[in-house]
Amino acid sequence: MDKIGIIGAGAWGTALAVLAQSAGRRVQIWAREPEVAEAINSDKENTLFLSGVILPPEIQATTDLSEVVKVDALMLVVPSQYLRQICGAIAPYLDPSIPVVICAKGVETGSGALMNEIVECILPKNHYAVLSGPTFAAEVARNEPAAVTLACQDIGVGKKLTQALGTSRFRIYQSTDVIGTEIGGAVKNVIAIACGIVEGRSLGDSARAAIITRGLAEMARLSRAKGGRPETLMGLSGIGDLTLTCNAIQSRNFSLGVALGKGQRLDQVLASRVSVAEGVDTAASIDALAELLKVDAPICSAVNSIANHGADTESTISSLLARPVGLDSPFD
Q: What are phi and psi of 131, to 5 degrees?
A: -105, 120
Give the Cα-Cα-Cα angle 297, 176, 156 (nearest 5 degrees): 160
**Sheet arrangement for strand 146-151:** 60-62, 26-30, 3-7, 73-76, 100-102, 128-132, 146-151, 170-175
Phi-psi region for residue 263, left (φ > 0), alpha (ψ -120 to 50) or beta?
left
| SS3 assignment for 101-112 | EECCCCECCCCC
CB atoms within 10 A of CB 310: 10
Count the residues in the chain: 332
| Most distant CA pair in the chain, distance | 59
Distance (Å, whole) CA 242 – CA 233: 10
In eight-state DSSP terms, residue 121 is: H
CB 105 within 8 A of CB 83: no
Distance (Å, whole) CA 229 – CA 113: 18
| Amino acid letter, residue 180 | G
Of these residues, 105, 160, 188, 226, which one is catalytic?
A: 188
CB 148 within 8 A of CB 154: no
Sign (positive or negative) of CA dihedral 77, 83, 87, 89 = negative
Q: How, if at all, do strands 146-151 and 128-132 pair?
A: antiparallel
Distance (Å, whole) CA 179 – CA 217: 16
Look up 44 and say whether it is catalytic: no
Residues with active-site annotation: 188
